[in-house]
Amino acid sequence: MRSSLLSFALAAIVTLLVGIGVRMEPYFAGDVRAARALQALSPEPGWWATPISTIPTAPTKYYVMAIAMILAYVLAGWRGLLLAIAAILLDQYGGEASKPIFGRPRPSPDLIRVAGTPRGFTFPSTTLTFACATFGVLAILAARIKRAPARVPILVISVAMIGLSCAARVALGAHWPSDVLLTTLVGMTWLWAAGRACIA
């Protein structure tokens, strides 16, 4: 019990520190250089980055949610399923709503290449909150349940999808690298704490 409380306390501290940082700075040192470097590796990102970026939109998101919940049940039974449902609900009702708290502006086309006209605030990245709520849950469960069926391919695919989601948003100029990395850090820290508390 004490270990679980410490895990949640650590997640809260990480969230607080990240939140203060992104609230204070529109982007961090190194963001521009890292974004330009990634965009240079993929000068025409639309063919791969756009499909990945649209995963959290309807109707695709419903298929991904269903698959995540089924695999969470396969990996960890009812506890895994409940963890997936809780994470998905938090993402769907809290991800976008939390952006005004931080008020971080989108990347400027004067600094990096921006595809289209992204609107709203940039942190947290709701593409990454969705990735954490689905693929991240599966990664945590696969890492914790050593005897779960197909745990290795599920873990590898889940981590790869989170990484591709990060890269896609930066390649399109919709987010700074710090946006996607810190969103992932916060989301996965809370999932790690929840996994320690409810998954033996």
What digits encode the pLDDT tens for the residues 139-155? Answer: 999 999 988 889 999 99
Q: Is the pLDDT of residue 2 over 80?
A: no
pLDDT at residue number 200: 64
The whole-number pLDDT of residue 136 equals 98
Residue 128 · residue 162 · CB < 8 Å? yes
**Among 92, 95, 56, residue whose Cα is nearest residue 183:** 95
> What pLDDT, on the 0 to 100 scale, is given for residue 149?
84
At 192 the pLDDT is 96
* Percent of the chain residues past pLDDT 90, beyond the cut: 90
Distance CA 96, CA 123 (A): 9
Cis preceding-peptide flag for 124 (omega within 30 of 0) = yes
Q: Collapsing DSSP states into helix, strand and coil, what is residue 123? A: coil
Task: Provide the pLDDT confidence category of residue 1 given band limits of 50, 70 and 90.
Answer: low
pLDDT value at residue 188: 98
Mean pLDDT of the chain: 95
Closest to 18 (Cα-Cα) out of 163, 168, 178: 178
Q: Report the residue count for the chain.
A: 200
Predicted confidence (pLDDT) per residue in 87-124, tens digit: 999 999 998 999 999 999 999 999 999 998 999 999 99
Q: How far apart are CA 38 and CA 61, in angstroms?
A: 26
CA distances, 148 to each of 60, 65, 70, 96 (Å): 27, 20, 13, 33
